[in-house]
Structure 1
């Protein structure tokens, strides 16, 4: 394993630092807007801007990177993100923050395309699975660890934004000093959403629902925790545990989906998310109970996207899968753009429980659609199913990394 990972150590260090510096910003911004008395609708709109920038960036940044090279493009994207982090501390206006979040999303899309292209170039057929797994670990570990930087803002409100900018700037160093050859971006052939739906209705609808559910959580999860009376340190712990739960359960659920009808595992995850959301929306919980259920929510909800990708791949030929990944990323992004606004309406109507009532409703809809597809279509034989592979919800470049077969 170490032999496989050693050539990409600089990239893994960069992604860990980047996620530690940027992954907690969505939580921090939601917390600050909540403390300033902004409505759930305004907080949801600011979050939607980030996902909108991420979606547009994943579709547009490849040409920019190709024109100037990976190192220069990576430096530009990270510098813009770092400058944006400092601007939050200077201008405290929701309208400005909405624009900054859109810029953040666009810049992060460029970062992901750069790093995932590099990983793809460095991976061999025998090391791809290991590199993808360590990439996932670095990404989610950085995101989870960064949540605890929220605690630094209790006595110095501007300090977390400054720390974010510092970490993002340090993340430049491994890439700027690397001796690795710059990669060539592999063009992903377009694959229409309509064609993808015809091949795998549950794959595309499940991905759309998952994007809406997780977009809603990332936008308003911290607001929910604050409004039920938990403090900033508990907000950080709650968000970190949700992310950690998502990492822990992905592979066990993936293994189950390889052995049984994958649609049944997908449906079970949707139902589990709906049940957890019902408890969180309807019952008064202690901080320990909230954090425990949050971890379980992350475990089942984070598994949905890679399960949807694997289910879609079961119905596609090898040469169609990479192109289909762009349609799945687009579907996830569209859902993530819509999710914060759906949840903000729920919270505006029902108060704090409205967040998980909204997410739970989306999960029920996903489960009902999945059950219908289970009845309407025969399952793929277990021996014909593609092996589950945990994937980040970033750009189609991650699918390029995952796509090569292991040698027989």
Structure 2
């Protein structure tokens, strides 16, 4: 991992600055929306705009890169992000904010494609897994650092918006000045959603529902905090705990998932999250309880995303894994778009703590569907399952495809080691 860090430190530094800027915008907008007197329902439309833009960007960015190249796309999109952050402060109106959130989501999707392409180009087959791990850590550390910076100034002024803009502008330098020549851009033609659903119904349904959970964490957490009357330090600490939990439990759950029927782990993790939220109900008004809940939600949701992808790969040929990445990303994006809208409506009618009710409902639906799917077909042998590869939902199609290719390479390596052993057979029926 030190070799990867030495070889790609400038790219990772630029990515860190981008993630701090991106992590700041959601928190600061939620705080500023409360100052401006906007309701949770109004802010839900604003926050949903980012996920609409990100989904559009995942489709448009590859086309733009093929047309004008990595460097021009990165410079143009990053400039638009920097300008949009300043417009937030200059024109504090929900319609303007929603339009800027859509633009920022679209641009960040393209920026991630470029940075991930360069990072992947610098990695070798031997270091690709380490590069993915570092990439995940940098993303989480960036978002957590953003929450600390949100305490440096008043969200009612300009300073935090200027800091966001400056951070993104500075991120240009280490990425553009140190990046290797732009790699040849190519992505695999995505598998159709119907094919993907037939291969793994649980994978598709869980990915969609997890999109709503992530939208609640990344988009509506600051809105909940202001609606619940939390102070700015409490709001930022609350948001940080989602990602601290994800960092703490990502790799332990991944290790376990490679050694058991993943459906039981999906079921157990989601049931644990639901029970934890139910048990916290009598103490929900205490800030310490909210921090514990955020840790549990983040610690369950972030690894679940990677776990569901690994489970989906269990029912795909290794050559189909990369093709499945586009479909999974699209399904997750659809769930993320709807998440803020439902949470905003629920908070408007049932109060701020409906925020946890919605997330608990999504976890419960995943658990119920996992239990149902366990009755429909047997699990594959643990020895035949795909390798767990950690990845966050903020990743672009490039990182998704790299993770899928890495899992496919690991699967082929395992096959090369075991194909000469005649007595080991899979009892999983042919598809």
TM-score, normalised via structure 2 length: 0.91
Indicate the residue corresponding to 2:152 in structure 1.
152
Alignment of 1:178-327 (within 5 A): 178-280=178-280, 283-327=283-327
* Unpaired runs of at least 5, structure 1: none
Q: Tell whether the 8 Å contact from 1:188 to 1:396 is kept in structure 2 after alignment.
A: no
- CA change 1:358–1:181 in 2 (3 A) is same
Any idea what the Cα deviations from partners look like across 1:20-39, whole Å, max 9, x if unmatched? Answer: 11212112111211222212
Indicate the residue corresponding to 1:39 in structure 2.
39
Q: Which moved more, 1:275-284 or 1:80-89?
A: 275-284
Matched, 1:65 2:86: no
What do you get for the CA RMSD once the two structures are aligned? 1.5
Q: Which moved more, 1:228-237 or 1:216-225?
A: 216-225
Indicate the residue corresponding to 1:29 in structure 2.
29
Distance in 1 between residues matched to 2:280 and 2:172, nearest whole Å: 40
Distance in 1 between residues matched to 2:268 and 2:328, nearest whole Å: 21
Distance in 2 between residues matched to 1:280 and 1:30, nearest whole Å: 24
Any idea what the Cα deviations from partners look like across 1:262-320, whole Å, max 9, x if unmatched? Answer: 01111112212222333455643421221122111110011111111000000001111
Q: Which moved more, 1:141-150 or 1:102-111?
A: 141-150
Distance in 1 between residues matched to 2:98 and 2:359, nearest whole Å: 23
SS of the aligned residue for 2:249 comes to helix
Q: Which moved more, 1:326-335 or 1:233-242?
A: 233-242
Any idea what the Cα deviations from partners look like across 1:235-265, whole Å, max 9, x if unmatched? Answer: 1111112111111111111111111100111
Q: Tell whether the 8 Å contact from 1:43 to 1:219 is kept in structure 2 after alignment.
A: no
* Unpaired runs of at least 5, structure 2: 418-431
Indicate the residue corresponding to 1:400 in structure 2.
401
Distance in 2 between residues matched to 1:161 and 1:298, nearest whole Å: 26
TM-score, normalised via structure 1 length: 0.96
Deviation of 1:179 after TM superposition, in Å, equals: 4.9
Deviation of 1:156 after TM superposition, in Å, equals: 6.3
Indicate the residue corresponding to 2:111 in structure 1.
111
Q: Tell whether the 8 Å contact from 2:88 to 2:97 is kept in structure 1 after alignment.
A: yes
Deviation of 1:91 after TM superposition, in Å, equals: 0.5
Larger Rg: 2
Indicate the residue corresponding to 1:174 in structure 2.
174
Any idea what the Cα deviations from partners look like across 1:128-155, whole Å, max 9, x if unmatched? Answer: 1100000111111111101122212328
Q: Tell whether the 8 Å contact from 2:31 to 2:155 is kept in structure 1 after alignment.
A: no
Give the paired residue count. Answer: 408
Q: Tell whether the 8 Å contact from 1:14 to 1:172 is kept in structure 2 after alignment.
A: yes
